[in-house]
Amino acid sequence: MKHNKILLIYPKTGFSGNFTKHLPLSLLYASSLLVKNGFDVEIFDIRLYVNSWEQELKKRLTDDIFIVGISVMSGKPILNAMEIGRAVKEFNPQIKVVWGGPHATFYPESILSNDWYCDYVISGYGNKAFYELVLCLIDNIPPDKINGVSFKKDNKIITIPNEKTFEFIDYKDIPYHLIKDYSVYGQLEYNQRIFSMYSAMGCPYNCAFCASPAFYKDFGKKWVTISINQIVDHIEYLINNYNADYIYFIDDDSFVNLSHVEGIIDEINNRKLKVKLGFRGARINEIKKMSDAFINKLALAGTDILHIGAENGSNKMLSLFNKNFTVDDIIESNIKLARHPEIKTAYNFIIGIPTETLEDLNDTRRLILRLVKDNPNCIIFTPNTYRPLPGTELFKTASQFGYTPPATMSEWINVEVEGNFTPSWISKKAKKLSRLLIIGSYFVDKKVKRIVSGKTFFYKIIRLLDTLYGPIIRFRYKHGIYQGLIEFYFYQYFVDKMAKTGKINS
């Protein structure tokens, strides 16, 4: 077998992937050392070929490929990753299939124990580990000294622990040239050239539901910034070489130290770079520390969205989460942000938590209505249905309710936002109210007509739904009428169909 080429694949995502399609940064990071050392690497993004991916994959499976790597999140991507592995092994059983990404990081044994056409799993940061694994496979030696690698030996799963340190990659070593067409990536219908990047790595907080505290617990420092000059050099490089006009910071949390973000903005202004900014990681306790002058500075620098973890409308649940803020803090921060309408404030929520009552769910519903009333520019994301993650504090509580992690890969497929995941602690009434919160999240803030123009067929349908159905679901939402919500089954069918085909009319 020739040791020539490595094919890296990004699988299909769930329903939400139809609204946002950012470039496959995980694959670029994983291939950095390989490309730097002369390996031939190709990236295949299946999200761009959802209905013809099998034919496209066959075109790319040539005799010189000896490794196929797949970046996999939990949920729907698992199904496609399994299909990819099967197709690769049918083409050539000698090709080694390697899984990486979020699901591989936390559940490597679940992948290997099910024997889904996967040979190796890489947990955690994958650049160094993947490069070392490739070298081992070329030399035909066991990878049992590579941190973060799992594999089978004598029918036993061998797992080598991760290195407890951050993996920094210089922007000049990110092989952006592997992406042939950046125009296909973006979000909603915006005509923007969006590039994701980090300004900081890690998270110092201890949210009970989050995997970060479990992952970073043995790190020396749990939150480390990248130098301001390097960040802005990176931005300038992307503007000059790839016509970037939007930078999306995908940090776990960007605002632990406000002066860090302020320094980035000042340097962008000093260099007179024209670019919009978005931040994925912000907390209510951090918003509370921001002055109006600071937020105004964010807006003037081109910031158009802040993703904020409000998480829940019940103080009892917020305390259980270890959030260190209250519902009143959320309301106060939202009112502050409403004074800066240039910035869209996007809120995340979590529902379906152990010990959560019907009244707690109604508290979340009422808080969302209050946020929308106080800040007409805010955006409510679809609430995440809580998924217990081993190693997290809240997992212990879930276990007390009899929860056990999925035993098969097929069970993992539905463990996602749009999946049909209903643990034992959710009552029938809570399940029905949760469905109202999920469907209502698409309409309660009237986001469709505010941020979507309806140029494509998919978004024209969404806008038509907002016109015809929006008033009905908003009335239901306002008054908490969850009984007889038969439209949820149409929604679930629609979500499943979109996840499988990527088209509304296929």
0.85 exceeded by pTM: yes
Per-residue pLDDT at 506 exceeds 60: no
pLDDT-derived band at 104 (thresholds 50, 70, 90) equals: confident
Same fold, 5-159 and 188-501: no
**Among 45-59, 149-163, 169-183, 450-464, which stretch is predicted with the lowest mean pLDDT?**
450-464
Give the pLDDT confidence score for residue 105 in this predicted structure. 86
How many residues does this entry show for the chain?
506
Mean pLDDT of 272-300: 95
- How far apart CA 359 and CA 365 sit, in angstroms, is 10
pLDDT-derived band at 18 (thresholds 50, 70, 90) equals: low
Among 340, 332, 351, smallest CA distance to 376 is for 340
CB atoms within 10 A of CB 127: 22
Tokens standing for residue 82: 């399994």
Per-residue pLDDT at 428 exceeds 70: yes
- How far apart CA 106 and CA 101 sit, in angstroms, is 9
Give the pLDDT confidence score for residue 355 in this predicted structure. 94
Q: What average pLDDT does the chain have?
A: 90
Mean pLDDT of 396-405: 89
Per-residue pLDDT at 364 exceeds 90: yes
pLDDT-derived band at 82 (thresholds 50, 70, 90) equals: very high
At 66, phi and psi to the nearest 5? -125, -10
CB atoms within 10 A of CB 259: 11
Tokens standing for residue 449: 């007509």
Mean pLDDT of 266-272: 95
- How far apart CA 297 and CA 255 sit, in angstroms, is 14
- How far apart CA 314 and CA 320 sit, in angstroms, is 10
Tokens standing for residue 126: 């994958």
Give the pLDDT confidence score for residue 102 in this predicted structure. 86
- How far apart CA 48 and CA 43 sit, in angstroms, is 12
CB atoms within 10 A of CB 185: 20
Give the pLDDT confidence score for residue 406 in this predicted structure. 81
Q: How far is CA 347 from the centre of its chain?
A: 14
Q: Which amino acid is at 305?
A: I
Higher-scoring residue by pLDDT: 506, 102: 102
**Among 384-398, 404-418, 434-448, which stretch is predicted with the lowest mean pLDDT?**
404-418
**Of all helices (H) and strands (E), which one includes residue 247?**
strand 246-249
Tens digits of residue pLDDT in 295-316: 999 999 999 999 999 999 999 9
Give the pLDDT confidence score for residue 264 in this predicted structure. 97
CB atoms within 10 A of CB 200: 22
Tokens standing for residue 95: 């090709």
Give the pLDDT confidence score for residue 503 in this predicted structure. 47
Give the pLDDT confidence score for residue 296 in this predicted structure. 95
- How far apart CA 247 and CA 61 sit, in angstroms, is 34
Per-residue pLDDT at 318 exceeds 70: yes
CB atoms within 10 A of CB 47: 20
Residue 174 near residue 163 (C-beta atoms within 8 A): no
Mean pLDDT of 4-25: 83
Tens digits of residue pLDDT in 183-239: 888 876 567 899 999 999 999 999 999 988 888 888 889 999 999 999 999 999 999
Residue 407 near residue 456 (C-beta atoms within 8 A): no
Per-residue pLDDT at 2 exceeds 60: no
Mean pLDDT of 333-343: 97
Domain boundaries, the chain: 5-159, 188-501
Give the pLDDT confidence score for residue 505 in this predicted structure. 37
As a three-state string, the secondary structure of 206-239 is CCCCCCHHHHHCCCCCCEEECCHHHHHHHHHHHH
- How far apart CA 382 and CA 187 sit, in angstroms, is 16
CB atoms within 10 A of CB 389: 21
pLDDT-derived band at 4 (thresholds 50, 70, 90) equals: confident
Q: Tokens 């806008």 correspond to what residue? A: 463
> Regarding the domain delimited by 5-159, which CATH topology (the fold level of the hierarchy) does it fall under?
Rossmann fold (3.40.50)
Architecture field, domain 188-501: Alpha-Beta Horseshoe (3.80)
Report for 7-21, 149-163, 330-344: range of highest mean pLDDT: 330-344
